[in-house]
Amino acid sequence: MLYVIGLGPGKEELMSREALEAIADCEIIVGYSTYMRLIRDLVKDKEHVATGMRQEIDRCQKAIDLALETGKNVGVVSSGDAGVYGMAGLILELLGDNSELEVKVVPGITASLGAAAVMGAPLMNDFCHISLSDLMTPMSVIEKRLHAAAQGDFVICLYNPRSKGRPDHLSKALSIISQYKSEDTIVGIGKDIGRKEEEYILTTIKDLDESLVDMTTIVIIGNKETYVKNGRMITPRGYTL
């Protein structure tokens, strides 16, 4: 059995029992080294294969090979939900027509949901996820989606909003979004959600301080009804109160 396991935002309390049991059921755990550290107590008695960033294909192929060659249960761990910009798709793609190996995807709480709970309730109406990383999706497609999402007044969760290699993607995204949404639209910035250093900042499109945003950050841009009350970000569901 090959498990692809979503670890949730970071702390063990936000993992599901299914994820904990899947890890317990594995003899070999494969993952990006940062995530392995998050669960080191859970995997300390197991064989583990930790690889660095941007080695996703090698990592997933290795996991498949190990499972097929050894017949042992192997787990590939991903932060958040393994099926959201995670490893689940790559495993199934690499497996192709091979049906010898059973793959079980164990879902997790993805970053947007973890951050939203801390911020209040920004995702109470229609929302979307857009990754600003153009490593695998052309920037033209990302831009088209930013236009579409802002035009539809979706609440927009931005994954991979800004990194050293892509310092200007967030400002580009905000300038597209501002063509449709008011510059006073509420924006929530979640940092290190589910970890000890967890914090969030509520601001607006026009006041957003980009230097607060990096790869450990999730950015949630409200819809036109989103507001802040008592320090929480709230998108109304539409009840008449």
- For its own copies, which is the closer residue by CB, 135 or 209? 135
CB nearer to its own copies: give 151 or 182.
151
- Smallest gap from residue 177 Cβ to its own copies (A): 13
Q: Are 94 and 207 in contact (CB under 8 A)?
A: no
Rounded to a whole number of angstroms, the minimum distance from the CB of residue 58 to its own copies is 11
Report the residue from 8, 188, 190, 222 that binds its own copies according to the rule CB under 8 A.
Answer: 8
Question: Residue 211 CB, nearest distance to its own copies (Å)?
Answer: 26
CB 199 to its own copies: min, Å: 16
Angle, nearest 10°, between helix axes 56-70 and 88-95? 60
123 binds its own copies (CB under 8 A): yes
10, 86, 161, 188: which one binds its own copies (CB under 8 A): 86
Q: Between residue 56 and residue 85, which ones bind its own copies under the rule CB under 8 A?
A: 56-57, 81-85
Which distant-in-sequence residues (6+ apart) come within 8 Å of 141 by Cβ?
Answer: none
Helices 169-177 and 139-151: angle between axes, nearest 10 degrees: 30
**If you count them, how many residues does the chain have?**
241
Q: Any contact of residue 232 with its own copies (CB under 8 A)?
A: yes
Residue keyed to tokens 């905000």: 174
Give the containing element (helix H, strand E) for 78.
strand 74-78
Instruction: Tell me how far, at minimum, the Cβ of 23 lies from its own copies, in Å.
Output: 13
Query: What radius of gyration, in Å, describes the C-alpha atoms of the chain?
Result: 19
Question: Restricting to residues 212-231, which ones interact with its own copies according to CB under 8 A?
Answer: 229-230
The answer to whether residue 94 forms part of the interface with its own copies (CB under 8 A) is: yes
Cβ closest to its own copies, residue 77 vs residue 123: 123
Stretch that binds its own copies, among 37-45, 123-131, 168-176, 182-190 (CB under 8 A): 123-131
Write the secondary structure of 188-219 as one string of H (helix), E (strand) and C (coil). EEEECCCCCCCEEEEEECCCCCHHHCCCCEEE
Q: Does 110 bind its own copies (CB under 8 A)?
A: yes
Kindly list the distances between the CA atom of residue 105 and the CA atoms of 38, 99, 217, in Å, as whole numbers in the listed order. 20, 15, 25
CB burial readout 106-136, b (16+ within 10 A) else e: bbbbbbbbbbbbbbbebbbbebbbbbbbbee
CB neighbour burial string for 180-210, b if at least 16 within 10 angstroms, e if fewer? bbeeebbbbbbbebbeeebebebeebeebee
**Is 109 one of the binding residues for its own copies (CB under 8 A)?**
yes
Instruction: Scan residues 152-211 and list those touching its own copies (CB under 8 A).
Output: 152-154
Judged by beta carbon, residue 67 or residue 105, the one nearer its own copies is 105
Q: Is residue 40 part of the contact set for its own copies (CB under 8 A)?
A: no
Nearer residue to its own copies within complex by CB, 53 or 241: 241
